[in-house]
Structure 1
Amino acid sequence: IAGLIAGASKGEGLGNKFLIHIRETDAICYVLRAFSDPDIIKQGVKDPKSDFEILKIELDLADEEMIDRASAKASAGGKTQVKNDLPLFSRKPFLVVLNVDEADLKKAGDIETEYAGKLGIDRNQIVAICAKTESELSELSSEDQKTYLKGLGVEKSGLERLIQKAFATLGLITFLTAGEKEVRAWTLPAGTDAVRASGVIHTDFEKKFIKADVVDFDDFISNNAWKNCRELGKVRSEGRDYIVKDGDVIEFRIGN
């Protein structure tokens, strides 16, 4: 969505009415300018820390507005309960994305550590990417992307690292199913057991679950699928209480 500026809660710029569109989201991603380009003009300061503080203040003020409106409709003494029931921004997990210069990508880790300290957030809540680079990568083939990234001195694209951190922020993991015709990825909350994971594929699987054959992703790839993994003893048979791990490749055994 559009960015906020100082005073948005009082109607400055686009105001903050559009924030209703993100009230129901599970998390918030703050995108902060950390690149230098005189041709791209930006209102306000050019310091990510100050921009972040402005965004946080404006969201806090928007929360206060919501609390005040809801409290006015509630019975006397009901403000605390009202506050607990509202979808406040301050309660949502968040991730900070620093949009940096392409030349800074090779030191993204150092930049993330530096700004995590400046912003007073956890190192896992911040990721440095270059939006311009991501735009260029999107137009390349997979092989050309690898070559491009290698030339920049980085292993993963910003999009890949952003997705990984977004999943961690939301407490999500991915497991895979791999048949002869297709491979599919399935998303579920971390800590989910094998029975409930099978239900993500089909609700009937939960009722008829027998066991889950599991192999680590790296073993699956290096040994070229199920047959070789079984012959090499890489496949584990897990029961109902097995907690699915990120990257597990699973074949569920389902009864009639």
Structure 2
Amino acid sequence: MEAGIVGLPNVGKSTLFNALTSSQGAQSANYPFCTIEPNEGIVSVPDGRLHEITQYIKPKKVIPAILKLVDIAGIVKGASEGQGLGNKFLSHIREVDAIIQVVRCFEDPDVIHVEGQVDPVADMETIETELMLSDIDTLENALPKAQRSARGGDKEAKLRVSVIETCMKHLAEDKPLRTLELGEPERKAISSYGLMTAKPILYIANVDENDLEGKCEHVQNVRVYADQRGTDVVPVCAKLEAEIAELDEEDRQEMLGSVGLSEPALHQVARAAYHTLGLQSYFTAGEQEVRAWTTPVGATAPEAAGVIHSDMQRGFIRAEVYTLDDLHAHGSEKDIRDAGKLRIEGKSYTVQDGDICHFRFSV
């Protein structure tokens, strides 16, 4: 699962990406399209539960969940018609699972705004409009082929035609597809199109160093816009976070304390992106390692086991499950077993966020 970082040029996308992935590349010039090919990076998802588990189980190593990020070049008005190499950039968005839009909420005369003034809601609307126009174009091109197949009696094609027409009507009402409720068969029918407004979205308000909590009018407007669409907003000062990311741990904690932060705002971004993707973590814990594994919310025990190895899913027998609360109450896995609190779950069990699991399998 991966998330693409998008936004207008010069809003701080690459600065945020570099801070998140601790990239130490050369400074980019202050002009549009300084990112051409998308950069990719891996970021750990901070999770305090890992540390809590290691208070009871002492492993040789601790491995957090990870998230793949893609830094996609700046999009401008007219991108859906090819402006600013727009078609190429939009194709990169089509390949990711979720969108992280960085929105400029700071004033700085030295940093050029592509539209001449800072207006984050207008920026959000510009991106949304370009993605909707591109989706409309994709569906219009796909519809004739689906109609031809449907006339030949193809049941899947008939469903695809119906879903395409429903999506086009929704987009014509100026509504992104993520606000359209579709069943699993309907989603599957159009999944190959990579429709961009169907992807979940997270907004990052890039704020000034004097407004780390995001209290300015720009951020408040962003929150109203996001609330109306059921999406999350995380305020971040990308410039400050980039400086913090370059420090060693001791200096990092000192700098965080000096600006009144308990943790880097990037930790909030990683967790929010994880949530936006519809992901959760379960854990395995032993003397070799304590590790967070990533599954979609709603995954069954065999599906969760398959994240570790496909053989474990194929030959799944049962899951042995306990929780961090059980560790707090009993102190060790052995004592949890002895107390009869270790749960035995079968193939239909839905793994919960925070479960600590052992999978039994045979192949």
Same fold (TM over 0.5): yes
For 2:244 and 2:335, locate their aligned partners in 1 and report how far apart those are by CA, in whole Å. 34
CA, structure 1 residues 75+197, in 2 after alignment: closer, same or farther (shift >3 Å)? Answer: closer
Instruction: Check the 8 A contact 2:282/2:352 in 1, yes or no.
Output: yes
- Name structure 1 gaps, 5 residues minimum: none
The answer on 1:12 being equivalent to 2:120 is no
Contact 1:106 1:152 in 2 (8 A): no
* Cα distance, 1:210–1:119 mapped onto 2, change above 3 Å: closer
The secondary structure found in structure 1 opposite 2:101 is strand
1:22-37, aligned counterparts within 5 Å?
22-37=93-108
Decide which moves more: 114-123 or 242-251.
Answer: 114-123
Letter in 2 for 1:145: R
Which position in structure 2 is the counterpart of 1:211? 319
Give the number of equivalent residue pairs. Answer: 254
Distance 2:340 2:266 in 1: 31
Quote the offset at 1:13 in angstroms.
3.2
Cα 1:158/1:219, change in 2 over 3 Å: farther
Q: Match of 1:180?
A: 287
Note the alpha carbon deviations across 1:163-182, whole angstroms, 9 max, x for none: 21112111110112122122
Q: Residue in 2 aligned with 1:57?
A: 129
Match of 1:237 among 327, 332, 343: 343
User: Cα deviation per residue 1:48-88 (whole Å; 9 max; x = unaligned)?
Assistant: 10100111111112222223333455547989458363322
CA separation in 1, counterparts of 2:303 and 2:227? 37
What is aligned with 2:111? 40
- Classify the secondary structure of the residue corresponding to 1:204: helix
The CA deviation string for residues 104-134 of structure 1, in whole angstroms up to 9 with x for no partner, is 2234799866522134545652211111122
Report the Cα distance in structure 1 between the residues aligned to 2:340 and 2:231, rounded to whole angstroms. Answer: 32
Matches of 1:151 and 1:122, distance apart in 2: 35
Equivalent-residue separation in structure 1 for 2:219 and 2:339 (angstroms): 41
Is the CA contact (8 Å cut-off) linking 1:219 and 1:234 kept in structure 2?
Answer: no
Measure, in 2, the Cα distance between the counterparts of 1:138 and 1:112.
24
The answer on 1:164 being equivalent to 2:271 is yes
CA distance in 2, matches of 1:34, 1:3: 16
Residue 8 of structure 1 contacts residue 15 of structure 1 at CA under 8 Å; is this kept in 2?
A: yes
Alpha-carbon separation, structure 1, partners of 2:265 and 2:350: 29
Aligned to 1:209, the other structure's residue is in SS state strand
Q: CA 1:12/1:200 → structure 2, altered by over 3 Å: closer, same or farther?
A: closer
Shift of residue 235, structure 1, vs aligned partner: 5.6
Alpha-carbon distance in 2 for matches of 1:219, 1:138: 35
Cα distance in 1, alignment partners of residues 330 and 253 from structure 2: 22
Residue 251 of structure 1 is matched in structure 2 by: 358
Q: CA deviation at 1:188?
A: 0.5
C-alpha separation between the residues in 1 aligned to 2:211 and 2:265?
12
Greater relative CO (CA pairs within 8 A, separation 6+): 2
Q: What are the ranges of 5 or more consecutive residues in structure 2 without an aligned counterpart?
A: 1-71, 152-157, 168-189
Match of 1:98 in 2: 205
SS of alignment partner, residue 64 of structure 1:
helix
The corresponding residue for 2:173 is none
Which of 64, 70, 92 aligns to 2:142? It is 70
Q: Please tell me whether residue 88 in structure 1 is matched to residue 159 in structure 2.
A: no
